Amino acid sequence: MPERSGLPVTASWRITLPHTAAAVPIARALIRTALADVEVSADSDTAELLTAELVANAVEHTVGEAPIELVVELLPAGCQVEVHDGDPAPPGDWYGPEPGPAPDAWQEHGRGLLLIRALSSACGHRLTDGGKAVWFTLPSRSRPSAA
């Protein structure tokens, strides 16, 4: 079990983010901060990338101005990140690309959920009272000791 000062690492954060592009760097900073002081944690670079993808998707693909909620849980086995939004519809390409032509390799959009599926140990979505939560988990990994 991960420890810091002899105590097991189990903590969670919940923050409300604006329904704007400004939410993405805020979410990245929160993940970076949440994982910075933990001796055994998930890969913070991957956590930051996948969190940014979920938040950007929530901002881009949900209508209205209702805030987005980011929930980060540090667990003995790693971390889980959830992004809550007000739209109950499942993510568009969650289970694979939509029928039709393959995405253009030069385009910036269309690969976020593919990255989440490929880089996380588990991922999914669920209905909530106010819409849905899209989540991923990353396993813990020991940080290399300083030489």
Structure confidence by residue, pLDDT tens digits, 61-113: 888 889 999 999 988 888 999 999 999 988 876 555 555 666 565 555 556 78
pTM: 0.80
Cβ within 8 Å of residue 136, ≥6 positions away: 50, 54, 80, 81, 116, 120, 122, 123
Q: Please determine, for residue 3, whether its predicted confidence score (pLDDT) is greater than 50.
A: no
Higher pLDDT, 40 or 123: 123
**Domain topology for 3-98+113-142:** Heat Shock Protein 90 (3.30.565)
Tell me the domain boundaries of the chain.
3-98+113-142
In this prediction, residues 123-136 reach a mean pLDDT of: 95
Mean pLDDT of the chain: 81
